[in-house]
Amino acid sequence: MLCEEIDTLTYLEAESINILRELVAECEKPVLLFSAGKDSIVVLHLALKAFAPAKLPFPLMHVDTGHNFPETIEFRDRKLAEIDEKLIIASVQKSIDDGRVDEQSGPYASRNRLQSVTLLDAIKEHGFDVAIGGARRDEERARAKERIFSHRDAFGQWDPKNQRPELWSLYNGRHRQGEHFRVFPLSNWTEMDIWQYILRENIEIPELYFAKKRKVFDRNGMLLTPSSFIENLPGEEIFEASVRYRTIGDATCTAAIPSEADTLEKVIEEIIATRTSERGQSRADDKTSEAAMEDRKREGYF
């Protein structure tokens, strides 16, 4: 149906709301993955709209690497208190302490990949059969092929060559015991849509997204933030620069970009002008191999 009467953001909002309601109706025990990054903040906003004036029919869960920007945690806790919803914290530190995963060491150590195990363990522990994520198909080319209702087998694995066909808006959320779904309500959004929606709906996001003088160091052209979690290599000098973050993930692999954009409007202008994709610019984790995302997704990553 060609929706000439509604603009792009309204169309996307309505589609996402439809997806959120459908997964709640189709599955037993959903959970919303909430990282306090802009995409999951938008999913939360859409979920509140989908079920208003009722409360959310699912809890939120933060897969916490322990390597956070302090601003992220402050934002997360304040937001949750404001909307009075329940938050579950799945801790990567606990997975390490319990011997479920091995901590990497050295200057390139990151807990990013360890999150998959923590997430799958938490899904099993709480008996969730849907984890709602903020991933978008425009982020990375393996994601371009992923379904909105994306099936995971009993081992939490994604089988990209054997996905359920998804026609019209008829989502199939049925599954056997032990299997689960990842559902991505923002599948059809682009980074630009997200920013413009944040602007239109006046959605609050962490201040990390806006340019400010911050301490950084340069590693292979990526500006990383010094912290106790990152071992610095010789010659990596810490300096101050006006930067902002385009994505907010684990602090060890999320890079800042030089920017003077200190308002939403300026951020949008800057994104329009830029020719580097969001993940390439600020995610060290995607640079490791040509199919880095596909490999991580297969084993249960977001």
Partner 1 sequence: MTIMNQVKTDNSSSTLASNSTVLRIVTAGSVDNGKSTLIGRLLYDSKKILQDQLENIEAAKERYGNETINLAFLTDGLRAEREQGITIDVAYRYFTSDKRKYILADCPGHIQYTKNMVTGASTADAAIILIDAKAGFIEQSRRHTYLSMLLGVSHVIFAINKMDLMDYSKDTYEAIRSEIVDWLPKESNSDYHFIPISALEGDNIVKKLDNMPWYEGEALIDFLDNLQVNPKNVFDHFRFPVQWVVRPQSNEFHDFRGYAGTVASGHVSVGDEVTVLPSGLSTKVKSIQIGGKDVEKVSPGLSPTILLEDDLDISRGSLICAKAKPALSDNRINAVVTWLNAKPAQTGKRYWLKHSTRWVKVIIEDLNNELNLHSLNFEESSSSSLELNGIAKVSLNCSEEIYYDLYEDNRTTGSFIIVDENNFETVGAGMITA
**Which of positions 82-121 make contact with partner 1 (CB under 8 A)?**
none
Asked if 154 interacts with partner 1 (CB under 8 A), we say: no
Query: Angle at CA 38, nearest 5°, toward 239 and 277?
Result: 65
- Considering only 54, 177, 202, 234, the residue that binds partner 1 (CB under 8 A) is 54
Site string for partner 1, 186-215 (x = CB under 8 A): -xx-x-xx--xx--x---------------
Under rule CB under 8 A, residue 277 binds partner 1: yes
Q: Are 221 and 282 in contact (CB under 8 A)?
A: no
- Here's the x/- map for partner 1, 229-248, by CB under 8 A: it reads as --------x-x---------
Task: Please choose, out of 35-43, 82-90, 98-106, 156-164, the segment that lies near partner 1 by the rule CB under 8 A.
Answer: 156-164
Angle formed at CA 288 by CA 294 and CA 61, multiple of 5 degrees = 55
Instruction: Pick from 32, 48, 132, 212 the residue near partner 1 by CB under 8 A.
Output: 48
For residue 5, state whether it binds partner 1 (rule: CB under 8 A): yes
> How many residues at the interface with partner 1, by CB under 8 A?
78
Find the binder of partner 1 among 119, 222, 230, 248 (CB under 8 A): 222
User: Do 111 and 67 contact (CB within 8 A), yes or no?
Assistant: yes
Query: Quick one: which of 32, 42, 43, 50 contacts partner 1 (CB under 8 A)?
Result: 50
Q: Quick check: helix, strand or coil at residue 9? A: helix
- As measured in angstroms, the least distance from the Cβ of 244 to partner 1 is 12
Which window, 3-11, 65-73, 102-110, 207-215, contacts partner 1 (CB under 8 A)? Answer: 3-11
Which residue in the set 82, 106, 176, 228 belongs to the binding site for partner 1 (CB under 8 A)? 176
Among 83, 144, 154, 233, binds partner 1 (CB under 8 A): 144
- Give the pair of three-digit tokens for residue 141: 């080319």
The yes or no reply on residue 129 touching partner 1 (CB under 8 A) is no
CB of 290 to partner 1, least distance (A): 6
What is the SS3 assignment for 238? strand
**Alpha-carbon gap, residue 301 to 157, rounded angstroms:** 9
Beta-bridged to residue 157, according to DSSP, are none
Give the span between the Cα atoms of 158 and 14, in whole angstroms: 27
Compute the distance between CA of residue 288 and CA of residue 19 in angstroms, rounded to an integer. 33
Nearer to partner 1, 1 or 228 (CB): 1
CB atoms within 10 A of CB 7: 11
Task: Work out whether 14 is an interface residue with partner 1 (CB under 8 A).
Answer: yes
Determine which residue in the list 11, 108, 210, 229 makes contact with partner 1, applying CB under 8 A: 11
**Exposure string (b/e) for 196-235, b if CB count within 10 Å is 16 or more?**
bbbeeeeeebbebbbbeebebbebeebbbbeeebbeeeee
Q: Please report, to the nearest 10 degrees, the dihedral formed by the alpha carbons of residues 122, 126, 130, 135 taken in order.
A: -30
